[in-house]
Amino acid sequence: MFKHVFRSLLLILLMLPSGVLLSPPARAQQVAVEEFKLDNGMRFLLVPRRDQPNVVSAGWVAKVGSVNERPGITGISHFFEHMMFKGTDTIGTRDADRDAKYRAEQKAVRDEINRIVWTKQYDRLKRGEIADAWDPANDTQELRVLRGRLDALIRAQQGRGEGGPAAATIVKDEFDQVYTKAGGSGMNAFTSHDLTCYFITVPANKLELWAWMESDRLNNSVFREFYSERDVVHEERRLRTDSTPTGRFQEQFDAMFWESCGYSWPVIGWPSDLNSYTFEQAMDYWNVYYRPGNLFGVVVGDFDPVAAKAFITRYFSRLDPGTKPVPPVVTLEVDQIAEQRMNAEGDVPPAVEIRYHTVPAGHADSYPLDMLSELLNERTGRLYTGLVEGRAIAGSARTASDTRKYAGLFSFEAETRGEATPEQLEKAWYEELAKLQAAEVPERELRKVKNRVAAGNYRRLENNMSLLIQLAFFETLLDWQEINNGPKKYEAVTAADIKRVANKYFAPANRSVAVYRRAAAELKSGITSGAPSGTSSGATSGAPSK
């Protein structure tokens, strides 16, 4: 029924002439969520609905992301995302005891490698004898022998060594295979600055399998391939950051913009930290952030709540609540008191990005800031009509209001068109901003944007997985009830609110500017590339990885 209600309302909104879209939309659909808590502290959000018969989207969230890290272990939240697909003593191995022996031997060798690199190689680096302490090309003979021994152990565990397949203890991707054979689909995960989420869609009659599988990996993950998997993460970093035209520029801009808080390092982590994690550090992290009190589950779809609660209680109750409390995030972002600028040259199209510090999720000003961004975006927004169509100086232009758990930002990004320069785009942004600071947005314009936002809220509720992901973010950043309360707060935003926040947060001293120019060599060769990557409102790392 809900599906048809949504489609009817959206169709009406899209088909009516723009002049008719001036009255407030109907009361937003309320998502009915049943909260359920186990004795060990783990909570579950249950949303039974029949829109997609016989399927259930289910997942769980660890309320931990890169903001909870520190120098030395940056990227470890994302690394855990990889580790959690490697199996347990039940799944992912042919011989749990022999597999444990391989892991212990690998740990001993890798600990010795770390010790030598952190002492001798780092000393050589400081003396200028080598340029990279972790590069195997700079290894001493002692290190070469140790790396060879570690590689031999890894290959044997995988069945690629001297013993051949018979020596293997790993069953690759068995976690995925079990789900796929049972009709599961879309198993994946993602890590953001504030949370890590694991999810899948299964047939309704396989919900018990999900409860057993997920509780098993939370109860008994063995971090198999702990040392070889960092090569996979390095490759992911290379593809998403090092090999893209603006990836490393964006990292530098982030580190400059976020002066003091944990958003200053990339979700994927700094390279030297990726090399350095120890098994002890991983276990310490696990025992703090992957215990029931810091986890919650979300189940959305065609299921019986009574049966679901029985499965959840039976399997997830076995999780040990642990004894180490989650430490608070205490280092907050300091006020910016002077404009910052970064001038970047490379194989990039001329472009500009301008950021301002704003507010965290749930702050009263976050709603008018989001609405201000909506006023500027889309083909009917002020940026497209003013910079792309009107002045014809931008090939693309957009803004993003990115409110995270502990801080927020507002960004403007645009790429030049024709002979235009980044300086012209920057000047045009200040002119558009000055209009918002000087006069209130006309009610007609604001009403049209509110209607578009309301339609988008309906659209995002239609799909089970989309609803699961929204609940994951809302429950981590604020409270799951924001999915019902948020639309009313956006509807309540006034033109005066928008003018007020435009004047409050967009001061010159609060801005950081990144200007991208094509280097002279690229100009001569005529090389082209994509636009600089922008700040995502979803705030996730690269694509979820298994």
Residue 522 pLDDT: 53
Backbone dihedral region of 141: left (phi > 0), alpha (psi from -120 to 50 degrees) or beta? Answer: alpha
Residue 118 pLDDT: 96
Residue 434 CA, chain-centre distance (Å), reads: 33
**What CATH architecture applies to the domain 340-525?**
2-Layer Sandwich (3.30)
Distance CA 529, CA 216 (A): 45
Residue 529 pLDDT: 37
Residue 363 CA, chain-centre distance (Å), reads: 21
Distance CA 317, CA 159 (A): 36
Residue 530 pLDDT: 37
The strands making up 351-357's β-sheet, listed across from edge to edge, are 340-346, 511-518, 351-357, 408-416, 394-403
- Walk along the chain (546 residues) and give the pLDDT tens digit of each residue: 222 222 232 222 232 333 333 334 445 578 999 999 999 999 999 999 998 999 999 999 999 999 999 999 999 999 999 999 999 999 999 999 999 999 999 999 999 999 999 999 999 999 999 999 999 999 999 999 999 999 999 999 999 988 888 889 999 999 999 999 999 999 999 999 999 999 999 999 999 999 999 999 999 999 999 999 999 999 999 999 999 989 999 999 999 999 999 999 999 999 999 999 999 999 999 999 999 999 999 999 999 999 999 999 999 999 999 999 999 999 999 999 999 999 999 999 999 999 999 999 999 999 999 999 999 999 999 999 999 999 999 999 999 999 999 999 999 999 999 999 999 999 999 999 999 999 999 999 999 999 999 998 888 898 999 999 999 999 999 999 999 999 999 999 999 999 999 999 999 999 999 999 998 765 444 443 333 333 333 333 333 333
Q: Residue 130, class by beta-carbon neighbours within 10 Å (0-12 exposed, 13-18 middle, 19+ buried)?
A: middle
Residue 412 in tokens: 């403007």
Closest CA to 36 of 25, 23, 45: 45
Domain boundaries, the chain: 43-316, 340-525
Cβ atoms within 10 Å of 115's Cβ, excluding its own: 11
Q: Residue 488, class by beta-carbon neighbours within 10 Å (0-12 exposed, 13-18 middle, 19+ buried)?
A: exposed
pTM of the model: 0.88
Cβ atoms within 10 Å of 472's Cβ, excluding its own: 26
CATH assignment of 43-316? 3.30.830.10
Residue 301 in tokens: 């779809």
Residue bearing tokens 């972790």: 134
Residue 27 pLDDT: 53
Query: Going by DSSP bridges, is the β-strand pair 295-301/196-203 parallel, antiparallel, or unpaired?
Result: unpaired
Distance CA 481, CA 473 (A): 11
Distance CA 403, CA 482 (A): 14
Residue bearing tokens 């013993």: 163
Total count of residues recorded for the chain: 546
Residue 29 pLDDT: 73
**Cβ atoms 112, 146 nearer than 8 A:** yes
Neighbour-count burial for 215-243, b at 16+ CB within 10 Å, e otherwise: bbbbeebbbbbbbbbbeebbebbeebbee
Residue 521 pLDDT: 61
SS3 359: coil
DSSP 457-502: HHHHHSSHHHHHHHHHHHHHHS-TTHHHHHHHHHHT--HHHHHHHH
Residue 162 pLDDT: 81
Q: Which residues contact 65 (CB under 8 A, 6 or more apart)?
A: 77, 191, 192, 193, 194, 195, 196, 267
Side chain identity at 242, as an amino acid letter? D
Sign of the Cα torsion 177, 181, 186, 191 reads negative
Q: Can 43-316 and 340-525 be said to share one CATH topology? A: yes
